[in-house]
């Protein structure tokens, strides 16, 4: 297995163990109300939201850069070369 796979397995196991240890209910103060909620639920939801936000922030962008457009324009201009120029370049 690759190091990345082993790291993901170990990290997931540690998160699961941490969640299973913290199952007791505690009082959480929301903006306008107080509620007894399991720490398991709160930590689990926060972890899930953290993973989603981390993926969303770290994913590669799919937009085409201006550099790619310049390369495309340059490659179309290359086709307008004379035979002498092509022989010289190659």
Residue 39 counted as domain residue: yes
pTM for the whole thing? 0.47
Residue 43 contacts residue 18 (beta carbons within 8 Å): yes
Q: At what angle do helices 39-58 and 3-21 cross, to 10 degrees?
A: 150
Alpha carbon 13 to its chain's center: 21
Whether 84 has a pLDDT exceeding 80, the answer reads yes
The count of domains in the chain is 1
Give the per-residue pLDDT at 9.
93
Residue 38 contacts residue 28 (beta carbons within 8 Å): no
Give the per-residue pLDDT at 13.
93
pLDDT tens string 5-53:
999 899 989 988 887 887 888 888 878 888 888 888 887 888 899 989 9
Residue 67 counted as domain residue: yes
Write out the residue range of the structural domain in which residue 8 sits: 3-81
């Amino acid at each position: 297995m690759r190091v990345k796979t082993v790291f993901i397995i170990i990290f997931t196991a540690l998160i699961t163990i941490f969640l299973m240890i913290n199952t007791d209910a505690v009082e959480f103060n929301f903006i306008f109300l107080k509620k007894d909620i399991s720490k398991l639920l709160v930590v689990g939801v926060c972890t899930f939201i953290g993973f989603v936000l981390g993926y969303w922030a770290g994913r590669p962008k799919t937009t085409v850069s201006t550099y790619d457009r310049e390369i495309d324009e340059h490659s179309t201009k290359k086709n307008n070369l004379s035979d002498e120029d092509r022989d010289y370049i190659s």
